[in-house]
Structure 1
Amino acid sequence: MKLYFAPRTRATRARWLLEELEVPYELVTLDLARQENTTPEYLSVHPQGEVPALVDGHLTLLDSLSICLHLADRFPEKHLAPPPGSSDRGRYYQGMVFAETRLEPAVMELYKNPQRASDVSMRHPLAVLLDIVDKALGTRDVLVGNTFTAADVLTASLLHLANTLMLLDAHPRLVAYVRRHTQRPAVRRAVSG
């Protein structure tokens, strides 16, 4: 497997999951400032020139959600996805899709427009989403069942950004969730060099 990666991008989620899996992969780091993502070679992998991209044999995946879903299923013995057909599997899908389609756009809106973070009307949609995550988490350390899954990778990575932007002040359990998961050894490996 080959992961095309750039630091501080959505590609970190895919790298984090690969590190959790502890499987061999080749890391190709692209320097976005030098526009290495616009070379003909990389555009043949990802026509939009975005990261991440994962090449796994004859399969090429171009976004962090599909990469994380694929990797968790490709290595079922690592237990980063609940078993197919289980009720936890449905909650896992819901957590993955919710993180990507609801939580990420709300966090990214405030990341791109930091002046709006202090505007109560702009924060309210995110506050509602954070309440949903907080309720889903309950008293557990993980989102689904009793074990860490790829849903935690996606959610914790987004909540880490929200916490950095000081958007989790009213959600101390989510702050604890972020701290617990961003201290995992796989995260340290994923964000280093």
Structure 2
Amino acid sequence: MKLYFAPRTRATRARWLLEELEVPYELVTLDLARQENTPPEYLSVHPLGEVPALVDGNLTLLDSLSICLHLADRFPEKHLAPPPGSSDRGLYYQGLVFAETRLEPEVMAIYENAQRASDANTRRHLAVVLDTLDAALGTRDVLVGGTFTAADVVTASLLHLANTLKLLDGHPRLVAYVRRHTQRPAVRRAVSG
């Protein structure tokens, strides 16, 4: 497997999951400031010139969520996805989709507008999203069942950004969730040079 990666992008999720799996992979780091994502060689891998891209044999995936889903299923013995057909699997899908479609757009809107006053409606909607996530987490350490999954990788990565932007005030359980998961050894390997 080969992961095309750039630091501080959604590619970190894919790298984090690869490190959790402890499987061999080749890391190709692209310097986006130097436009290393625009030569024809890379555009033949990812036509949009974005990261991440994962090449796994004849399969190429171009989105961090699809990469995480694929990797968790490709290595079922690592238990980073609940078994298909289980009720936990439904909650796992819900956690991944909620993070990607509800949490990420709100956090990214605030992140991208950090230089300007943030839209009050966006902040109010984010508060509802965070309250919903907080309630879903409850007193558990993980989103689904009793074990860390790819849903935690995606959610914790987004909540880490939200915490960095000081958006988790009033949500101490979410702050604790972020801290717990971003201290995992795989995260340290994923964000290291």
**TM-score normalised according to structure 1 size:** 0.98
1:35 aligns with 2:46: no
Which residue does 1:192 correspond to in 2? 192
Which residue does 1:164 correspond to in 2? 164
CA distance in 1, matches of 2:56, 2:78: 18
Which residue does 1:5 correspond to in 2? 5
Which residue does 2:20 correspond to in 1? 20
CA distance in 1, matches of 2:20, 2:155: 15
**TM-score normalised according to structure 2 size:** 0.98
Q: Contact 1:72–1:150 at 8 Å: present in 2 too?
A: yes
Q: Contact 2:106–2:122 at 8 Å: present in 1 too?
A: no
Q: CA deviation at 1:101?
A: 1.1
Aligned residues with identical type, % of pairs: 86
SS of the aligned residue for 1:37 comes to coil
Which residue does 1:145 correspond to in 2? 145
Which residue does 2:155 correspond to in 1? 155
Q: Which amino acid aligns with 1:19?
A: E
Q: Which amino acid aligns with 1:46?
A: H
Q: Contact 2:3–2:15 at 8 Å: present in 1 too?
A: yes
Unaligned residue ranges in structure 2 (runs of 5+): none
CA distance in 2, matches of 1:158, 1:39: 29
1:46 aligns with 2:46: yes
- RMSD value, Cα: 0.8
Unaligned residue ranges in structure 1 (runs of 5+): none
Q: CA deviation at 1:170?
A: 1.1
How many equivalent residue pairs?
192
CA distance in 1, matches of 2:9, 2:120: 27
CA distance in 1, matches of 2:39, 2:100: 28
SS of the aligned residue for 1:148 comes to coil
CA distance in 2, matches of 1:159, 1:177: 9
Q: Contact 2:14–2:52 at 8 Å: present in 1 too?
A: yes
SS of the aligned residue for 1:4 comes to strand
Q: CA deviation at 1:31?
A: 0.3
Deviation by residue 1:30-74 (Cα, 9 ceiling, x = unmatched): 000000000100000000000000000000000000000000000
Q: CA deviation at 1:120?
A: 3.6
Q: Contact 1:20–1:186 at 8 Å: present in 2 too?
A: yes
Q: Which runs of 4+ in 1 moved over 4 A?
A: none
